[in-house]
A and B are shown apart, each in its own frame.
Chain A
Amino acid sequence: MEFEYIIDGRLRTISLEKKGDIYIVSDGDGSHEADIQVISPHIFSIKIGERSIRAYMARDKDKRYIQLDGVQFLLTEPSQQGDGFQVGEEQSKEDILLIKAPMPGKVIKINVAEKDKVRKNQTLAIVEAMKMENEIKASIDGTVKKIYCSPGDFVETQNPLIELE
């Protein structure tokens, strides 16, 4: 099964399948086996080959806080309003249709034009922050109503980028 999470403003995809007692992890780098045990609702023990690590996790609506080896990550599930149920905090319709910058950065590329038809999760634009490119994706199947930025622009967190309808 495929899962998507936003970490530090970047969308990351991972596939996890159960196979007997173990799990098959697949991502861009290929696939490998993982032995994952539940120690408590907040603690998992993960073994990949001989490597063993403890993961601490807490959930808050669409957010997961995960700490491994003293390093903490915040993983957020991408909004799934198009599927008919709300994920996370209540969002107004306007929030869903107006795609905003998830972090401060520079607009590298706009992949769509106004009046274009787009599919959910289609890449609309690319914003670069800290030398990493982040794909900005469509929240719903729809049409591009308005584009608020152009390539080269610097944007702040929550600045509107693209409006859909």
Chain B
Amino acid sequence: MFKKILIANRGEIACRIIKGCREMGISTVAVYSDVDRKSLHVQTADEAVCIGPAPAVESYLNVDSVIQASLKTGAEAIHPGYGFLAENAGFARRCEDEKIVFIGPNSKAMELVGDKIRSRQTMEKAGIPIIPGMKGTHKKISDYQADAKKIGFPVMIKASAGGGGKGMRIVSEEKELKEALEAGQREAKSAFGDESVYLEKYIEESRHVEFQVLADNFGSMVHLFERECSIQRRHQKIIEESPSQALDPALREKMGETAKKVMQVSGYNNAGTVEFLLDKDKDFYFLEVNARLQVEHPVTELISGVDLVHQQIKIASGEKLAFVQEDLEQKGHAIECRIYAEDPVNNFLPSSGRVLFLKEPSGPGVRHDCGIYSGCDVPIYYDPILAKLIVWAESRDQSCLRMLEALNDYVILGVKTSIDFLKDVIAHPKFQSGQTTTSFLNKHFKNWKGKDKSEDLEKLALIAASFDSLNGSFGRAGPSAELKSEYSPWLSLGKWRIGGGK
């Protein structure tokens, strides 16, 4: 087993991996950019190395800096988390060259599944259902137009190099195609450095259902059931759950076995996820493989009881899987809400700034994977994910109630977050009855403006504020003070004592 692991990431996922390492008695190395010196992952790791300036390309995406940090601290393995270098086959290869263990799949498998078109071709050859669409990319818009007509509108534009919603566009009419293609190509170029895009049939009223797979280096493989991630905004997941309301045991087994076949065909090892699209007739199609630990992995951990970070580390260090498919059981129901620093009222615009106060929710069945603390800054440079709230309960109904209570018990003051929005989504009758599709938010929450606040609570807020003002106002000039002087330092000093409390 490794003695020291470097975590090439930041935020909540770096903190979660550090915890997993500590539980296994492995010492941890954090890396950080100039603006992250006071970030939580730096504080909680055993060692920390600055790897460059704030922009990710100069720090968290800088392969040389990360490798140097690993060599300097003597870390035997690197855990990449998600995002940044996690699915960069060049980085995985470089680790192999430097004799540092990359905690993830081998670089060859990563290359194959990272190329969406090549993996589509491979899967089709292996008899795995894929969404009807293009088998390659084109240079000319007119070729796309011809293919779009063959596939039939609506079509979905996808980036060949990656996921995360980047480059994705739904096109319902031919006249929208040219503009959407150009936008998709621009977005793909800036996100992945590769502008190639392809078209697929857009399947309406579908669900996003994915299977977690673990594969050791000796050909042993299990799936840890599904996660449904249909609640998405701008093609990005915000709520995930397991089990999916759309699967029965027979379909679950069929999809699970197909997921394992996808991984076998790809020569995959370590933890990975196979994404499927499930249409309203319960036909499913291969979407892509996520060759990393995913944001929503805690959902699987709660319903299966398997710690995925521990398993990743064990597999990477050369251990065999200690269980087989029949040992695994999907127990109870888990839901995850992603807590983003963003303004749901304002088109989910990211918000940055200082978290003035944080109170983490807690209670039976409540898990909070967190990358922030009271007083931390949320920099503008990185993904706006602050934390993840995951609950587990015996049934889906109980799980929804528990999630609502936990969201209510959650306090983040100072930056705008998605908490109120998430509450309304979970409480929505169509969510409660399990009618979740990828168009759910567009359909039911298009112009969400938040609820009206009760007059009663507003009055209590006024009482709290005036109590605070009253107790901070000793020595401070009131509005009618005689003493007023434009430059009196004592007056401004008094002002600063507001925070003093009692």
Contact = CB atoms under 8 A, between A and B. Distances in A.
Interface of A: 1, 3, 5, 7, 12, 14-16, 18, 23, 25, 27, 34, 36, 38, 41-42, 44, 46, 48, 53, 55-60, 64-73, 75, 77, 80, 83-87
B414 A75 contact: no
A14 B414 contact: no
Interface string B461-500: 1111111111101000111010011111001100100110
Contacts of A53: 460
A71 B453 contact: yes
Given A3-B465, A68-B460, A59 B408 contact: no
A77 B486 CA distance: 19
B479 A57 contact: no
A59 B499 contact: yes
A6 B407 CA distance: 26
Contacts of A75: 461-462, 465
B498 A70 contact: no
Given A42-B357, A64-B465, A84-B491, A16 B459 contact: no
A62 to B, nearest CB: 9
Q: How many B residues touch the partner, as a band?
A: 35 or more
Contact of B470 (A1, A27, A57): A1
A70 B460 contact: no
Contacts of A60: 354, 356, 414
B501 interface: yes
A87 B464 contact: no
Given A53-B460, A73-B458, A84-B486, A38 B470 contact: no
A23 B468 CA distance: 12
A56 B411 contact: yes
B373 to A, nearest CB: 13
B457 interface: yes
Contacts of B481: 83
B24 interface: no
A18 B491 CA distance: 23
A59 B356 contact: yes
Given A58-B356, A70-B407, A83 B501 contact: no
Closest CB pairs A-B (n = 3): A58-B356, A70-B408, A65-B413
B463 A5 contact: no
B360 to A, nearest CB: 12
Contact of A65 (B356, B374, B408, B423): B356
Contact of B457 (A1, A36, A58, A68): A68
Nearest to A5: B465
Given A7-B462, A68-B460, A85-B491, 13 more contacts: A23-B467, A36-B463, A38-B471, A46-B464, A48-B460, A55-B464, A59-B356, A65-B414, A68-B461, A70-B408, A70-B410, A83-B479, A87-B495
Interface in B105-147: none
Interface string B335-346: 000000000000
A70 B354 CA distance: 20
Interface in B200-225: none
A73 to B, nearest CB: 4
A42 B414 CA distance: 12
Contacts of B179: none
Nearest to B464: A55
Contact of B357 (A25, A44, A58): A58
A69 B410 CA distance: 10
A85 B495 contact: yes
Nearest to B477: A83
Nearest to B375: A58
Contacts of A69: 408, 457
Contacts of B453: 71, 73
A16 B461 contact: no
B462 A14 contact: yes
B1 to A, nearest CB: 42
A34 B461 CA distance: 13
Most buried by A among B461, B477, B491, B499: B461
B149 interface: no
B502 interface: yes
25 contacts: A7-B458, A7-B461, A12-B462, A16-B467, A16-B470, A27-B459, A36-B467, A38-B502, A44-B464, A44-B467, A44-B468, A46-B460, A46-B467, A53-B460, A55-B464, A58-B413, A59-B468, A64-B465, A65-B357, A65-B414, A66-B464, A70-B410, A71-B453, A72-B413, A86-B492
A41 B499 contact: yes
Most chain A CB atoms below 10 A, which of B467, B478, B488, B491: B467
B470 A71 contact: no
B54 to A, nearest CB: 23
B325 interface: no
Contacts of B357: 42, 56-58, 65
Contacts of B468: 44, 57, 59, 64
B394 interface: no
B413 A67 contact: yes
Nearest to B462: A14
Interface in B393-445: 407-411, 413-414, 420, 423
Contacts of A71: 453-454, 457
Contacts of A18: 470
Nearest to A36: B467
Nearest to B494: A85
A118 B471 CA distance: 32
B493 to A, nearest CB: 10
